[in-house]
Structure 1
Amino acid sequence: MTRTTRLERGRSALGPALELVHTGRAPTRAVLTAELGVTRATAGAVAAELEALGLIEVDSRPGAAAGSQGRPSHRLAIDPAGPVVLAAQVHADGFRAALVGLGGRIVATAPGCMTVPADPVHVLSAVVDAGADLLRSTGRRCLGAGLAVPSAVAEPDGTALNPLHLAWPAGAPVREIFTERVRQAGVMGTAEVTESAESAVPDSTAFTAFTGNDVNLAALAEHRHGAGRGARDLLCVATGHRGVGGALVLDGRLHTGSSGLALEVGHLTVNPQGRTCHCGSRGCLDVEADPLAFLDAAGREPGPEVSLLQRARDLLRTEYEDARVRKAAELLIDRLGLGLAGLVNILNPDRIILGGLHRELLEADPERLRAVVAERSLWGQSGGVPILPCTLDHNSLVGAAELAWQPVLDDPLAAMAG
C-alpha cells in the first residue's frame, strides 16, 4: 500500500490525531496508533501529513530510555514554530492579549491596564491592536481568534448578558465587535500584519471569532492541559479580579446549557445576611468570596497601584501570620466550602479545581476547605471529592485559544488551506 493510499484511508483521522498530540495524549507514534485504532502504517502517514502541514514535529530517531528493549517509537510533538491563534481576556482591571500555539503554549503576551470603558468597542479595539503588534513582532501565521469575558455569554449570538463588573451594557454584542475588529486588523492567515491589511484576509467576511465566559474557558483549558486532565465530570470554581464564576465539563465536553448560560455559581447564597449582590440578592458567593471581600474582611484598602486580585494574593502570601488576615482567609474558605458542598450535592463531580484567589485559599489551608465541603455535602463523609488547584497560568486565555483552535482540530486540512 502506498503512502498516498494510506493517507487517504487515514484522512478522517487527521483531526483526532492532532487533538491527541495537542492534549499530550499521544507522545509517540505507537500511542497514536493504539488510540486511533489504525494500522502502524496509517498512523505514520497521518503523522507525516500533520508534519507537512507545519502543525507537529515527528522525531524518527528518538533516544531509547535506559534499560528499554527494541526500537523506540517515533516521538510526536507540537511544532514550536507552527501557527498560532490570537487569544484575549478582558477583566475588571484591563485586558491581556496573547498568541497561543497548539498544546496550550503561550508564545507571546501583552498585558494592558486600563479602566474598561462603557463602550466595549474601545477595549476590544485595544485588545486586537495589541494582538496585531504581537503578530507583527513574531511573524507568526494566525489561524483564529478567541475572547474570554467576565460575563455569561449567550449562544448562538455571542452577547455578554451580565458583565456585572464592567461598565458594559447588558447584551453587548461582544462576538460581533471582536470579529469585526479582527477582520479590520487583517491579522488572519498572514504573517505580515500591516496597518491597512483588511485585504490580506482570505474570504474575511466568512471569518467569525469566538467568545466565551472566562471561567468556562479556564475549565476547558485545565481539562485539556492542566489540573483537570483525565477527569470525566470536572467542576471549576474561580475568582478573578472581581466576582466568582463556575464551569462544568461533563464527559469531556464543556457544559454550557441550552443557550450558554449554565452554572452561574456566583449567585449561590452563602451568607443570607451578607452584602447586597449586583444581581439584587444578598450574600451571594460573587460578593462574599472574591478578592474585594477578602480585603474588606482583612481590613485592608484595595490600593490603586495593583489589581484587586494581585493585592489579595500578595496579602495572603506575605501577611498570612497576621491574625486579621488569617481570620479573613478562614471566613472566605468557610463561605467557599459551603458553596462547593451545595454544588457537590447537585452535580456529583469526580474532581473540583479552584482558580484565582480560591487557589491560594486552598493552598493556605487545604484541610479546612476539604473539611467544610465534607461536612456539608451528602457524600462528603464517604470518600469526598478531590479538590485541586488550577495549574495553568492565564488559563482563561488558553481556553479562549482552545475555542479558536477547535476548527483546526476538527479539520486540519481545511483550516490550513484557508
Structure 2
Amino acid sequence: MNGKATTTRTKLERGRSALGPALELVHTGRAPTRAVLTSELGVTRATAGAVAAELEALGLIRVDSSPGSAAGSQGRPSHRLAVRESGPVAVAAQVHADGFRAALVGLGGRLVATAPGSVTITADPAQVIGEVVDHCARLLRDSGLRCVGAGLAVPSAVAEPDGTALNPLHIAWPAGAPVREIFATCVREAGIGGPAFTGNDVNLAALAEHRHGAGREAQHLLCVATGHRGVGGALVLDGRLHTGSSGLALEVGHLTVNPEGRPCHCGGRGCLDVETDPLAFLTAAGRTPGPEESLLKQSGDLLRNEYGDPAVRTAAEELIDRLGLGLAGLVNILNPDRIILGGLHRALLDADPERLRAVVADRSLWGRSGSVPILPCTLDHNSLVGAAELAWQPVLDDPLGALA
C-alpha cells in the first residue's frame, strides 16, 4: 500500500474514532459550534468538519453552515451544531410507589413525549413492567421515530451483574426480582428496537443532572433526593456513576441521623430514609396524608403554600437539620465538589437555603475549610432522562456500530 493511501486510511480511522466523543460533546451541550468541537477534540478543522458531517448523515445532529453573526463580532462565524429534533429516540420508563411514567427522550436529554400512569403498583413486577412497556410502545408507534434502545428506572438498588432489584422497600415487589430480565423480555416482545437497561432511579437522576442539568462540569457530584417515598443518593465521578463492586453503592437513605427516631425498613432506626422523606414531613407537620395525590406532591405543596404556619415551619426546620447532618457526614467521607438535591429535599433547600448550608458547614470538616455548593436539581423527570442515557450510551460510545 502506498503512503498516500495509508495516510488517507489513518485520517479516516482517526475521524471515526472521534465520532463518539464528538457526539457526546454535542449531546451534553459542550460543543455548540464546530470551532469548539475542533478545540475539544484536539483535531484539525477539516477533521472536525468531516466528523460533524458524518454525525449529520447518521441523522443525529444538524449542522448550520450559515449562522448569523453576533452583534459586534468580526469574521465568519463558526458552523453551529445541535442535536436533530427529528432524530432517533430512546424509550424510557420510571416506576415509583404511586405509579409510573413512560417517555421518549432524544439526544440532549430532550423529552419528546411522555405518558403518565397512575395505576396501582402491584406485587407482580412482570405485570407492572409489561404495562409500562405497553405505554412506551404506544408512544413510539405514534411518534414514527427510530428507537436506539430502552431504559427503566426503579426505586430499588439494582444488583450487578444480574440486574435484580435487591430490596424494593417502598413497592411490594419481592426482593431479588429480576427486573432487567423482565424489562428486556417485555421490550423485545413489544417490538421495541435496541438493547434494554435498568438502573436505580436516583443513580439515573444524578447521571442526567450531570450531563444536562445542575451537575454539569462537576468532577465529584453528590446527588441526594427524596422519591415518592424514601431517600436515595448517587455519586458521579469524572462523568461516570460510582456504583461500587456490585451496583449497590451510595445507599445514603440508611445513614442514621436520629438514633432515637423512627424504625427504618432496613432494620435500623432514625435513617434519612424515614426521617427526611415526604411522609416524615407530613407527619412532623401534623398532617394526615390524603389518598388522592402522591406523598411527594402533598409534602411539596404544603411546604411551598403553608410555610408561614408555625407547625409547618417547625417540621421543615427539623427535616433540614437532619438532612444537613446526613449531608455533612457524606461530605466528610466523599469530599464532593458539588451537592444537588431533588424531590422534597430540593423544596427544603428552597425554603431555607442558609439554614441547610450552615448545618452542613458546621458539621463537616471540608465544609468548614471551604463551602461545598448545594444546588437544586433542575431537570423535569430527571430519572426518566437518566434511564434514556443508559440506552443512548452505546450510541455515544460508537455511533456507527450502534446504528448500523
TM-score (norm 2): 0.97
Q: Identify the match of residue 284 of structure 2 among 279, 297, 306.
A: 297
Determine which of 164, 167, 171 is the counterpart of 1:159.
164
Cα distance in 2 between the residues matched to 1:2 and 1:30: 24
Post-superposition offset of 1:268:
0.3
Does the alignment pair 1:345 with 2:329? Answer: no
**C-alpha distance in 2 between matches for 1:67 and 1:245:** 48
User: In the TM superposition, what is the alpha-carbon distance from 1:253 to its structure 2 partner?
Assistant: 1.3
**Aligned twin of 1:414:** 401
Q: State the Cα distance separating 1:302 from its structure 2 match.
A: 1.1
Question: Which residue identity lines up with residue 388 of structure 1 in the other structure?
Answer: L
Letter aligned with residue 227 of structure 1? A
Alpha carbons of 1:296 and 1:119: their partners in 2 closer, same or farther (altered >3 Å)?
same
Say which SS state the counterpart of residue 18 (structure 2) adopts. helix
Equivalent residue for 1:198? none
**Residue 176 (structure 2) aligns with:** 171
Deviations 1:55-107 (A, max 9, x none): 00000000010111110000000000000000010000010010000000000
Task: Give the aligned residue type for 1:163.
Answer: P
Q: Secondary structure, in 3 states, of the residue corresponding to 1:258?
A: coil
- For 2:200 and 2:222, locate their aligned partners in 1 and report how far apart those are by CA, in whole Å: 15
Q: Does 1:21 align with 2:46?
A: no
Alpha-carbon distance change, 22 to 65 in structure 1, aligned in 2, over 3 angstroms: same
Q: State the AA in 2 paired with 1:385.
A: V
Secondary structure, aligned partner of 2:345: helix
Q: Structure 2 CA distance, aligned partners of 1:376 and 1:5?
A: 56
Q: Aligned runs of 1:179-328 on 2, under 5 Å?
A: 179-188=184-193, 208-328=195-315
Cα deviation, residue 360, structure 1: 0.5
Preserved CA contact (<8 Å) 2:101 2:115: yes
Give secondary structure in 1 for the equivalent of 2:241: strand
1:356 has 2:337 as partner: no
Question: For residue 75 of structure 2, what is the aligned residue in structure 1?
Answer: 70
Q: What are the superposed Cα offsets for residues 366-411 of structure 1, whole Å, 9 maximum, x if unpaired?
A: 0000011111111222221000000001001100000000000011
- Pair 212,159 (structure 1): closer, same or farther in 2 beyond 3 Å: same
- Could you tell me how far apart the structure 2 residues matched to 1:40 and 1:125 are? 48
Structure 2: how far apart are the matches of 1:365 and 1:221? 25
Q: Equivalent of 1:393, from 356, 362, 380?
A: 380
Aligned to 2:116: 111
TM-score normalised by L of structure 1: 0.94
Contact 2:338 2:374 in 1 (8 A): yes
User: Hey, what does 2:57 align to over in structure 1?
Assistant: 52
**Against the structure 1 CA distance between its residues 79 and 208, is the aligned structure 2 distance closer, same or farther, given a 3 Å change threshold?**
closer
* Equivalent pair of 1:6/1:41 in contact (CA under 8 Å): no
1:150 to 140, 155, 162: 155
Contact 2:261–2:275 (CA under 8 A) maintained in structure 1: yes
| Secondary structure in 2 matching 1:20 | helix
Match of 1:194 in 2: none
C-alpha deviations, 1:169-204, integer Å up to 9, x for none? 00000000000000000021xxxxxxxxxxxxxxxx
Identity across the alignment (%): 83
Q: Does the CA contact (< 8 Å) of 2:296 and 2:344 recur in 1?
A: yes
Do the aligned partners of 2:148 and 2:195 also contact (CA within 8 Å) in 1? no
How many angstroms does 1:136 deviate by?
1.4
2:24 is equivalent to residue 37 of structure 1: no
1:137 Cα deviation (Å)? 1.2
Residue 3 of structure 2: aligned partner: none
Q: 2:106 aligns with which of 101, 104, 110?
A: 101
Q: Match for 2:151: what amino acid?
A: G
> What CA distance in whole angstroms lies between the structure 1 residues aligned with 2:256 and 2:289?
24
Other-structure match for 1:139? 144
Unaligned runs of 5+ in 2: 1-5
Distance across 1 between alignment mates of 2:192 and 2:156: 26
Task: Give the partner amino acid of 1:250.
Answer: L
- Give distance in 2, aligned partners of 1:12 and 1:174: 34
* Kept after mapping to 2: 8 A contact 1:374/1:384: yes
The 3-state SS of whatever aligns with 1:379 is helix
Taking the aligned partners of 1:404 and 1:40, their CA distance within structure 2 comes to 30
Deviation at 1:251, TM superposition (A): 2.1
Q: SS of the counterpart of 2:221?
A: strand
Aligned positions, number: 399
Shift of residue 2, structure 1, vs aligned partner: 11
| 5+ residue gaps, structure 1 | 189-206
Deviations 1:124-168 (A, max 9, x none): 011100011111111111110001111110111100001000100
Contact 1:374 1:381 in 2 (8 A): yes
Distance 2:80 2:343 in 1: 35
Deviation of the 1:301 alpha carbon: 1.3
| 1:26-73 superposed Cα distances (whole Å, 9 cap, x missing partner) | 000000011111110011001001000000000000001011111000
Deviation at residue 4 of structure 1 after TM alignment: 8.8
Give the corresponding residue for 1:197: none
For 2:117, what is the secondary structure of its paired residue?
Answer: strand
Contact in 1 for aligned 2:90/2:150 (Cα 8 Å): yes
Q: What amino acid is aligned across from residue 318 of structure 1 in structure 2?
A: N
